[in-house]
């Protein structure tokens, strides 16, 4: 994942999330008890979400902001302007835009190996046990969530 300031954020298929980018500006690696496997995902507010073996880690400017306990996941989350979607082994979880509050959980088996995808109309697609699940678009949010300090909102016409 590339951050707005040009740094790259990556997981190491283990317990570290590393930054690289313009010389001398990368923060040190962030350790996580989470065992992150998929690439981090950027939220609308500029945070980075990394999902792994024991839940979700939320990062801002190289610092862990919060951690949420979830069933294991071996893939990246998907983020829209209003929600973060996580495919875990035991459930499909919908979280708020900041990935700090669980909003809905759809229990299943055999998930967590394919990342969710958000269609142009807001429908969310996820796979578990070789079955494609299609979830309706989330309800509209009447009040936008404020941006994280230093984050830049980029418009994406027609997309979530």
Pairing status of strand 117-118 against strand 102-107: unpaired
pTM: 0.75
Across the range 71-76, mean pLDDT stands at 89
Structural domains of the chain, with CATH: 8-135 (2.130.10.10)
Spatial contact of 98 and 58, defined as CB atoms under 8 Å apart: yes
The two structure tokens encoding residue 74: 């071996």
CA dihedral (21, 80, 41, 106) in degrees, to 10, reads: 180
DSSP assignments along 83-152, one per residue: EEEEE-SSEEEEEETTS-SEEEEEE-SS-SSS--EE-TTS-EEEEETTEEEEEPPPPPPSSPPPPPTT--
d(CA 143, CA 160): 16
Is a pLDDT exceeding 90 seen at residue 123? yes
Give 7 or 129, the one with higher predicted confidence: 129
Mean pLDDT of the chain: 79
């Amino acid at each position: 994942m590339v951050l707005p300031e040009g740094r790259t954020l990556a997981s190491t298929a283990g317990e570290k999330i590393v930054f690289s980018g313009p010389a001398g500006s990368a923060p040190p690696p962030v350790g996580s008890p989470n065992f992150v496997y998929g690439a981090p995902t950027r939220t609308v507010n500029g945070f980075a979400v990394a999902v792994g073996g024991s839940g979700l880690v939320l990062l801002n400017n190289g610092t862990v902001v919060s951690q949420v306990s979830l069933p294991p996941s071996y893939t990246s989350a998907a983020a829209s302007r209003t929600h973060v979607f996580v495919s875990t082994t035991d459930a499909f979880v919908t979280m708020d835009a900041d990935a700090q509050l669980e909003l809905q959980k759809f229990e299943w088996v055999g998930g967590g190996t394919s990342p969710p995808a958000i269609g142009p109309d807001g429908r969310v697609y996820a796979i578990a046990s070789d079955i494609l699940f299609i979830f309706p678009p989330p309800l509209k949010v009447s009040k936008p969530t404020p941006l994280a300090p230093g984050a830049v909102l980029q418009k994406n016409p027609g997309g979530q």
